[in-house]
Every structure is written in structure tokens, then in C-alpha cells.
Amino acid sequence: MHFEPYPFEKLTALLEGITPNSAYSPIALTIGEPQFETPAFIQKSICKHSEELRRYPKTAGEAYLNDSMRGFVERRFGVKLKQSELVSSFGTREVLFNFPQYYLFDKKEAVMAYTNPFYQIYEGAAIATRARVIHLNLTEANGFKPVVNEAELSECDLVIL
């Protein structure tokens, strides 16, 4: 199996040997790590609810969080999800890599569709499952919302949005 290097690894290789202009401060392009102070209202909320941190959440997810996530999807994309159509997890990488392997395990010539630009773990899952990929290009012209035509959708075994 061949996995492409992560974008930040590619960027580091591209920048090798380049001396940055000292008139500017570098911008840290880290992998999702917060670079700013946590806002006070979030810190207060964490303190207020810290008692809940002593237990693991339910495997199916907490109802209030699941309801909030379904509400976001409906407001943002106009899609009303059923409770059974939402998978809660502790992190994105694990579920987005493992779920396609589980779900597509017995599929012959599996087809996955996912957004482009994409979280690179989608590519890893597609490679691991030997799935053909349909990219859903996010552009200014489509409001950065994925567009799937019916013919492509009918081919898909799994769509990751």
C-alpha cells in the first residue's frame, strides 16, 4: 500500500533550502492545533461542566451533542439526518479510516465519494479498501458545498461529507 505524504510534509519538502524574509513573522501551519488563547466563555463553560469529564461519554454519543450536530448539518446543508444516520466517535481519523474498511469489506469494486480538498485520511481509507474515488470539488462557484449528480451518486457505496 502506498500512502501519499501529508500536505504539511509535502510543504516542508517544498520549502527546504528557502530562507524566509526576515521582515515577516512566520505563520505556524500546524495540523489543527489551536494557536490562540481559549476564549473566556469556553473556559468558563468547561469549568462549569468539568464534573462530566470524569466519565467517558456513551458509545452512541450524548443526546444533546448528537442533536446539536444534526441541527448543524440541517442548517448548513439543508439535510435532515435521522439519529441512526449519525456516528459519534472520539476522533475523526480513526472512524474515517476504519469505518470505510468495515463497511466496504465485502464490496467488489467499491466506490467512495468525498470532498476535495479533503482530509487526507479519506485517501488512506480509499487506498486501504481499494475503492475508486469520486471527488466532490468544493469551489467558490458551488459555495464550497459538495455537489453530486444522480448518476455518480447511484455508483457510490459510501459518501463522506
- Which pLDDT band, with edges at 50, 70 and 90, does 151 fall under? very high
Q: What is the mean pLDDT of the chain?
A: 88
pLDDT of the residue at 43: 95
Among 136, 134, 130, smallest CA distance to 110 is for 130
**Given a cut of 90, is residue 118 above it in pLDDT?**
no
pLDDT of the residue at 119: 82
Query: How are beta strands 132-137 and 111-116 bridged, if at all?
Result: parallel
Q: 20-76, pLDDT tens digit by residue?
A: 899 998 776 666 677 789 999 999 999 999 988 888 878 778 888 899 999 999 999
Which is it for the CA torsion 47, 62, 76, 117, positive or negative? positive
CB count in 10 Å sphere of residue 135 = 14
CA distances 13 to 6, 9, 27, 31, 131, Å, are: 11, 6, 17, 16, 29
